[in-house]
Amino acid sequence: MKLYITAPSPFARKCRIVAREKGLVDRIEEIVVDPYASDPALVAVNPIVQVPTLVAGDGQPINDSPVICEWLDVHGSDPRLLPAEGSERWRVKRLETLGNAALEMGVKRVLELRRPEHERSASWISRWTDGLHRALDAIEATVPTADAVDMGTITAGVAATWVGFRHPDIDWSGGRPRLTALREALEQRPSFIETRPS
């Protein structure tokens, strides 16, 4: 299997963590590409040229990290990180979606801040910043115990680390002790240590 990534991408990091947690990493070749340079290798497998993209055994590409993570979860070792059904599935899915929402707000903020100063929109930056804080607050209200490892907590932990890495001006941990404890616990795991953003 091939997994197209960038080293700092939090969406790719989730997939790389799940591959490790599920015992699949030896079957996956991680290929570093540059989506913003429209890397031909990535264009060939993903029409919207984003990482992560997974090309699994049947040769059919899968994109969008929640879908890739679920594919890896289904095909890897037990236990499931996203329960197959029932209220637990929706509890985990809800936290996963909040984590991804925080990342989406953060990526929009990065892109706006990368524009030349005279092209930047203060109102968009403010909107993405407020959305990011609200998503983090919702995560704080939703996080279970710090030792829970599932698709929701992995996404929340990845989001917290990435915001600290990419938005050093944002205080993501202040007033969010549960998220802080969760992130600290998860970052001790080999799957997190091996995939720290750089």
Ligand X SMILES: N[C@@H](CCC(=O)N[C@@H](CS)C(=O)NCC(=O)O)C(=O)O
Angstrom distance (rounded) from CA 96 to CA 129? 19
Least distance (Å) between residue 151 CB and ligand X = 12
Give the angle subtended at the CA of 142 by the CAs of 190 and 9, to the nearest 5°: 45
Is 97 strand, coil or helix?
helix
Q: Which is nearer to ligand X, 13 or 20 (CB)?
A: 13
Q: Which is nearer to ligand X, 158 or 179 (CB)?
A: 158
Q: Which is nearer to ligand X, 60 or 87 (CB)?
A: 60
Q: Which is nearer to ligand X, 50 or 129 (CB)?
A: 50
Least distance (Å) between residue 10 CB and ligand X = 6
Least distance (Å) between residue 147 CB and ligand X = 26
Residue 145 phi, psi dihedral angles, 5° rounding: -65, 155
Least distance (Å) between residue 181 CB and ligand X = 25
Angstrom distance (rounded) from CA 78 to CA 71? 13
Least distance (Å) between residue 178 CB and ligand X = 24
Q: Which is nearer to ligand X, 146 or 164 (CB)?
A: 164
Residue 162 phi, psi dihedral angles, 5° rounding: -70, -40
The sign one gets for the Cα dihedral 54, 139, 76, 87 is negative
Q: Which residues bind to ligand X, rule: CB under 6 A?
A: 9, 11, 35-36, 49-52, 64-65, 107
Angstrom distance (rounded) from CA 120 to CA 112? 6
